[in-house]
Amino acid sequence: MSTKNNFYKLSGKIQHYQWGGYNYIPSLLSVANEKQQPFAEYWLGAHVNAPAQLEGAQPSKLNEYIAANTSALGEKVYNDFKALPYLLKILDVKDMLSIQVHPTKQAAVEEFAKENAKGVALNASNRNYKDDNHKPELMAALSEFYLLHGFKTPELIRKTLSSVPELSFLLPFFEGENYAKLYEEVMQMDQQKVNEHLQPLIDRIVPQYRNNELQKDNPDFWAARAALTFNEGSNIDRGIFSVYLLNLVHIRPGGAIFQDAGILHAYLEGQNVEIMANSDNVLRGGLTPKHIDVPELMKHVAFKEVVPNVISGSATGTKEKVFVSPAPDFQLSTVSLEKNEEFSLHATSTEIVLLLSGSAEISNDEKKVILKKGEAFVTFAGATITIKALENTEIYRAFVPAV
């Protein structure tokens, strides 16, 4: 069956992780949240654990449709990846996410095979590797967004440890700018010592947090929130150390940031569009009730300084802005259309388009479909699709870089 010039309405899968908000994604998708569940992520992709559904196509699951119609990917993408190489998501971060890192492609292949050989079930709570893929990712902010991203520069590390009296004991571990030694100390420290070192800090900053005396550009704000969210009984979450060692980044709507393998990060608050390699591999080191495996995390951390690079998007000469990243697996762009404006899309691989706001007529030579806010469609290599805005409309487009 030829996929040329085909397109289908696409419905994604909601993930009800405990850190999600209650209103943003239900409002975007125009669905009720009668049970008051957290709506954390909305997945639009072909990951085997939560594939999107095509309306009016057989097979209806996107991963199965592509497997049955490999020409949908285009020859080069099929040869390079054999499947859809990216996953598009909407995130609503109400509570802080875990301190985490993602493996390289080679490490993911090796470690996934090891866990399989040990007989660890794919859905086991203590499973580290859900697939054999790397997970570089790019996020574009839809609101004021805060995250931790990579180790601070040596100068900032020393300034932080010197200015926070409860953390000054760590300065000797950073002699010679030894990131590995510093991070190993806090991540492998006995829990009793974690408590002894962090309790005075918590006692100082939590009252300030409760009295609204801390600003969000201050690590104390997030450390206090983490303590109130994640501490279990008398045990203090060691992830709080990372709040001070990593860059605290504030991204405004329209800004984006890329996170490669090995870069420690944690989302703190806000909504975003996220695109990543088609993987669910996450190694966690704190600030989460999910499975934590510190030794495994440490194997994959890039122990180096990171200067955050907030991307604003590159104009293409049309209504489109592209968030350029080094990942070969994906590209993300945004298109803003005023009422009655048109955008012509020429797909070189499988592309997913989501309407973040407004409504539009999607058409080719054979059919027309009206989509509204929160709805999406998928099209395939060789297709030419016209998007006509019926009101002011913003769309996000996921595709594979020029092939």
3-state secondary structure of 68: helix
What is the token pair recorded at 132? 């054999």
Q: Is 25 a domain residue?
A: no
Residue 196 lies in a domain: yes
Mean pLDDT of 34-42: 97
Asked if the model's pLDDT at residue 30 lies above 70, the reply is yes
End-to-end alpha-carbon separation of the chain, Å? 23
Cα 342 from Cα 21, distance rounded (Å): 34
Put the strands of the sheet holding 342-346 in their side by side order: 342-346, 384-389, 359-363, 368-372
Where does the pLDDT of residue 272 fall: very low under 50, low under 70, confident under 90, or very high at 90 and above?
very high
pLDDT class of 3 with cuts at 50, 70, 90: low
Residue 217: pLDDT above 70? yes
CATH, residue 373: 2.60.120.10
Last residue of a domain, one of 224, 246, 268: 246
Domain boundary residue, one of 215, 246, 277: 246
Which of 132-141, 150-159, 226-235 is the most confident on average? 150-159
- H-helix or E-strand containing 227? helix 219-230
Per the prediction, the chain carries an average pLDDT of 94
Q: Note down the domain range covering 182.
A: 155-246
Check 127, 210, 252, 284 and give the catalytic one.
Answer: 284
The strand pair at 13-15 and 256-259 is best described as unpaired
| Domain termination site, one of 246, 269, 292 | 246
Alpha helices in 266-389 (DSSP H): 294-300
CA distances from 263 to 57, 138, 150, 256, 304 (A): 39, 12, 5, 16, 9
Say if 48 falls within a structural domain.
yes
Length, in residues, of the chain:
403
Residue 381, in any domain of the structure: yes
SS3 292: coil
Residue 230 included in any domain? yes
DSSP 64: H
Instruction: Look at residue 140 and tell me if it is in a domain.
Output: no
Q: How far apart are CA 297 and CA 99, in angstroms?
A: 10
In a domain, 300, yes or no: no
Catalytic-residue membership of 225: no
Residue 185 lies in a domain: yes
> Model confidence at 4, in pLDDT bands (50, 70, 90)?
low
Phi, then psi, of 107 in degrees rounded to 5 = -65, -40
Over residues 253-270, the pLDDT tens digits come to 999 999 999 999 999 999
DSSP state of 290: S
Point out the least confidently predicted range of 2-16, 78-92, 96-110, 384-398. 2-16
Whole-number Å distance between alpha carbons of 361 and 300: 45
Torsion on CA atoms 112, 12, 64, 385, rounded to nearest 10: -120
Percent of the chain with pLDDT over 70: 98
Give residue 1's pLDDT band: very low, low, confident or very high (50, 70, 90). Answer: very low
Q: How many structural domains compose the chain?
A: 2
